[in-house]
Chain A
């Protein structure tokens, strides 16, 4: 199985801050990476796919980058509705695997 390691596991930030979350795969996943946002008690929501492509309806303050084994999710200016948990997911292999999540909290 491909292991997905996110960092940090949690962070505190203020409205307007720029936030970056990292996801590292245990082998090259060739940009077959999705990012999700999950608020408490809700299902995950797809933010990006193909490492850097915005899903439909997702604000442009979200962006993704990376290649090979290392990927990032950046929120350029944190908004109140962005305080949530973020997950990465690889779909390079048929056995998809997810990162453990990064909880973005209000400072």
Chain B
């Protein structure tokens, strides 16, 4: 069973940044791409970006490309997603997931709630 374990909930002020972690196994890290998807209340799921950890080059959805940074630490098999310039509308659950070779995301982290509040 593939496990992706995310960091805990965060409360942030507008204009600040948040960094969410996603720890998995070395095997998964070396053999699969990882994606970050967010789910705002009442909104459609949104892809933020993807990363192949062993390659280390991310690609970002255009909507987030100037605010999101996705990185990976191979020594700890942990991926990170940092979102800057937080606004109230960034309040959402943020998920990491393993990109299946056959398509879609076949394993998901438990989700991290980020609340932007003044």
The chain A residues found within 8 Å of chain B, CB to CB, are: 32-34, 36, 43-46, 49-50, 53, 55-56, 87, 89, 91, 94-101
The 5 residue pairs across chains A and B that have the minimum distance between CB atoms: A34-B104, A43-B108, A98-B45, A49-B103, A96-B47
What are 21 A-B interface contacts by the 8 Å CB criterion? A32-B103, A33-B103, A36-B105, A43-B95, A43-B97, A43-B110, A43-B111, A46-B100, A46-B104, A46-B105, A46-B106, A49-B100, A49-B102, A49-B104, A50-B102, A53-B102, A55-B106, A89-B104, A95-B62, A98-B45, A100-B44
- Nearest chain B residue, comparing its CB with the CB of A101: B44
In the complex, which residues of chain B have a beta carbon less than 8 angstroms from the beta carbon of A96?
Answer: 35, 47
Within 88-110 of B, Cβ neighbours of A (below 8 Å) are at 95, 97, 100, 102-106, 108-110
In the complex, which residues of chain B have a beta carbon less than 8 angstroms from the beta carbon of A55?
Answer: 104, 106
**Interface contact B59-A94, CB-CB below 8 Å:** yes
In the complex, which residues of chain B have a beta carbon less than 8 angstroms from the beta carbon of A36?
Answer: 104-105
Q: A34-B104, A53-B102 are in contact. Are A44 and B47 (CB under 8 A)?
A: no
A45 to B106, CA, bound (A): 7
**B interface residue count range (under 10 / 10 to 19 / 20 to 34 / 35 or more):** 20 to 34
B61 in contact (CB, < 8 A): yes
Specify which of A43, A50, A98 is in contact with B46 (CB 8 Å cutoff). Answer: A98
A44 to B62, CA, bound (A): 23
In the complex, which residues of chain B have a beta carbon less than 8 angstroms from the beta carbon of A87?
Answer: 45
- Nearest chain B residue, comparing its CB with the CB of A98: B45
Specify which of B44, B59, B100 is in contact with A98 (CB 8 Å cutoff). Answer: B44
